[in-house]
Amino acid sequence: MADDTGHREGNGAKAGQDNDRDTIIKNRLKDGSIKLYELEKEFTPADAVRVRRGYIEQETGTKLDKIGTFSIDIERVVKRNCENMIGTVQVPVGVAGPVRVNGGFAQGDYWLPLATTEGALIASVNRGCNAITKAGGAEVRILHDGMTRAPVFATESVAHAARVCDWVKEHRNELKTAAESTTSHGKLTDIVTFVAGTSVYVRLEFDTKDAMGMNMVTIASAKVADLISQATSARLIALSGNMCADKKPAAINGIMGRGRSVVAGVALSNELISKVFKTDAKSLVEVNYRKNLVGSARAGAMGFNAHAANVVAAMFIACGQDAAHAIDGSTCITTIDLTDTGVYVAVTLPSLPVGTVGGGTGVDTQAECLRILGVAGGGTPPGTNAKKLGEIIGAAVLAGELSLLGALAAQHLARAHQQLGRG
């Protein structure tokens, strides 16, 4: 494991000069003549991180030796991913699988990289993967694909609001051309308007190919919003009006979809249920009905699942996705149908914002996890890698749901956490 000290044996004189310069900079940070975010102007990225960390150690009286030890190349990270960087926090990564996926884009056996500190999670997903593979694999499909942004406008009256909506509908092609002029990859695929009193929300949806696409759609939406404002005199209030809806639990994403909308299912025989999960089909159906469906409804939940966000978060962190979007995984619906030979278990994930280019996907460790899945970088044709990743995550969520429901049906949950969770 490397660190970012930048000092080597035989460089004593240089180390002394560096220490003197570090002291001068720390004093300037103290008196405010230079800001933390300006250190990259004075130093290389590695030295800027080291000096900034040293200053925080001095200010807080806390040694940060472990945070300062890492393996990633920070040249890119400090420019694209993290401001005021002082080091890294390492999250353990384990693997579950292999799991067989029979998808529209993902076809084969995959080892799942899961970044987590929750004992028993990976073991649980691994058991689900075993069941899915023994059953012949998970059927997985992308039902819908589109990243959204929804600017909000203020109008003078409800009549004015209606005119704005009419104008948007009539000038759809013009707005599409304007949006797509800002990107070489994104395509505007849908525009839907909503009115609340004098507020108008224009929900724009884009095909973002292999990118998760938030930056892309934000820039394109700004161009569209400017045209709408100029043509209708509606006043743009915010480029995001929360009808997108981004990083918040929202029924609109569950209904209309956002990012990759994924469904995954598998047929399990009575024999397999008994052998792997130590329970029976009827018990699985009842646990899902009373816990995931009735219990979630009684709680007013927006998702109807056992712990889908658990698996989504672990894969998102491992694979360089925006971890805040793990909340979208909580809108998953888990269903179990009783069949003549056992059960058919399915998970529906209407909102899975994932990408294989941009954002955190270029960080070295996360890129390695994407390579494990064979989805790093852009796909051929564009968009196929992101869809493949979405399908694999769908299969992973299915594995996690199967295993937890099986543990609950067999009354094994507490025992598993005692053995593997260890507090």
Is residue 292 within 8 A of residue 317, CB to CB? The reply is: no
Longest dimension (CA), the chain: 79
Report d(CA 305, CA 198) in Å as an integer: 37
Of 144, 160, 185, 417, the catalytic one is 417
Kindly report the number of other CB atoms within 10 A of residue 143's CB atom: 12
Catalytic residue, candidates 40, 280, 322, 368: 322
Torsion angle defined by CA atoms of residues 231, 236, 241 and 247, in that order, rounded to the nearest 10 degrees: 110
Whole-angstrom Cα distance, residue 255 to residue 348? 11
Q: Which residues contact 8 (CB under 8 A, 6 or more apart)?
A: none
Q: What are the backbone dihedrals phi and psi of residue 392, each rounded to the nearest 5 degrees, phi first?
A: -65, -40
Residue 295 is encoded by which pair of tokens? 């219990």
Dig out the tokens for 393 from the structure. 């995550």
Q: Which residues of 158-171 are buried (b: 16+ CB within 10 A; e: fewer)?
A: eebbebbbebbeeb
Whether 417 is catalytic: yes
Give, for 28, the enclosing helix (H) or strand (E): helix 12-31
Q: Are strands 258-269 and 138-149 parallel, antiparallel or unpaired?
A: antiparallel
Question: Which residue has tokens 């658990």?
Answer: 310
Burial 394-421, CB ≥16 within 10 A → b, else e: bbbbbbbbbbbbbbbbbebbeebbeeee
Residue 322 annotated as catalytic: yes
Q: How far is CA 298 from the centre of its chain?
A: 28
Query: Which of 118, 190, 280, 368 is labelled catalytic?
Result: 118
From residue 86, how far is each of 32, 50, 52, 77 by CA, in Å?
19, 7, 6, 12
Give the catalytic positions in this structure.
Answer: 118, 322, 417
